[in-house]
Homo-oligomer: A and B are copies of this chain.
Amino acid sequence: MEPIITENQFEGCAEVFKALGHPARLRMVHSLAGGERCVCELQELVGLDMSTVSRHLAVLKKAGVLASRKQGNWAYYSLELGCVASLLDCVINKKQRKER
């Protein structure tokens, strides 16, 4: 009953973690855990160039972390991989407990 993890699964999984492994992207994901936002809101949140934000969002979408929909001129992003929200809590709590 050992669940065997294939190389493909490791790679897909690593892609998710890699996508989360950037402060700006993590901050945006955390914000999106509270509901969908448009790119301009996220841009204001992280304070990077709009084009840079757009690229970060593309990374997260490609990894399967986010979904997006277009409405008029705006693009709205939302959390697709729901468990990511608890991942964040988990890591923050663990680290916290150690650091103080």
Size bracket, chain A contacts: 35 or more
Q: Is the CB of B18 within 8 A of A22?
A: yes
| Copies of this chain held together in the complex | 2
Q: Is the CB of A17 within 8 A of B26?
A: yes
Q: Is the CB of B21 within 8 A of A95?
A: no
In whole angstroms, what is the CA distance A18 to B15 when docked?
10
Specify the chain B residue showing the minimal Cβ separation from A99: B12
Specify the chain B residue showing the minimal Cβ separation from A95: B12
Q: Is the CB of B86 within 8 A of A90?
A: yes
In whole angstroms, what is the CA distance A14 to B20 when docked?
6
Residues of A within 8 A of B (CB): 5, 7, 9-23, 25-27, 30, 64, 81-83, 86-88, 90-92, 94-96, 98-99
